Structure 1
């Protein structure tokens, strides 16, 4: 396998692994010891432009930035493409979570796609819990099959 294929595979694999990392981080960190940053995200009708929860975008960007740096010094290497996978996942997270699910912008309001409707339902179930305990559906792109069944 040539180096370009390995770099592409590394980027895609990192993107996929990020869903598992996101699930674990959401369940054990955001609903754990950093709940004070995530709590406002679970409050109904948050009125601010930014939430304390938005600090996680910065927190999660730090490893990606570091991997970009060490992935080009002293020369281009696989660390750069791990950072790229994390960046792509962060972009997907912003688009899916903030724009499609929470509709922080008035885009994509009337999506009829069954996957997107299932994703929104799973996230709504996650947000029915206002406290950090008893949560469910901690992932972003993975949707439990029971939510798909409602729309297929």
Structure 2
């Protein structure tokens, strides 16, 4: 029973992270954190790293702390919340940096309708080069209209 609880904790955390990501992207990255996120919206940014990459460190910190406190004094649910955050972070990296922005050429020729829909939604998000007027702040769950455009 406890194993099922840990699996559900990890899965629920992963799902909740999409909402956290949406809110963080809209209200922090496109809000007071724009000074870190702005270079990410500039086409052809020439550097391997962007200031926007600082958000990976910021968002990894809670997961690391939850892992630390999730094994002290013995394994507990905090570890599995940290695991859910880590797994979402890995999915985010694969979708955002690998598939969408092609920082690595691993999924260059995918014809998967879901992945193509995510890519289309993010391209719409990036058509706005400034902080205001953004749309589609999610990463893994985006409005259906973006999937209809890639069929």
For the aligned pair, the TM-score class normalised by the smaller chain equals over 0.9
TM superposition shift of 1:45: 0.5
Aligned residue for 1:23?
A: 22
Structure 1 spans left out of the alignment, 5+ residues = none
User: Structure 2 matches for 1:1-150, cutoff 5 A?
Assistant: 2-150=1-149
Query: 2:120 touches 2:150 (CA, 8 Å); kept in 1?
Result: no
Structure 2: any 5+ residue segments left out of the alignment? none
Residues 3-37 of structure 1: CA distance to partner in whole angstroms, max 9, x if unpaired?
00000000000000000000000000000001000
Q: Which runs of 4+ in 1 moved over 3 A?
A: none
The answer to whether the 8 Å contact 2:13/2:85 transfers is: yes
Aligned length: 151
Residue 107 of structure 1, CA deviation: 1.7
Q: In structure 2, how many angstroms separate the alpha carbons of the residues matched to 1:25 and 1:7?
A: 26
Q: Distance in 2 between matches of 1:42 and 1:7?
A: 38
SS at match of 2:142: coil
How large is the RMSD of aligned CA atoms in angstroms? 0.7
Secondary structure in structure 1 of the residue aligned to 2:60: helix
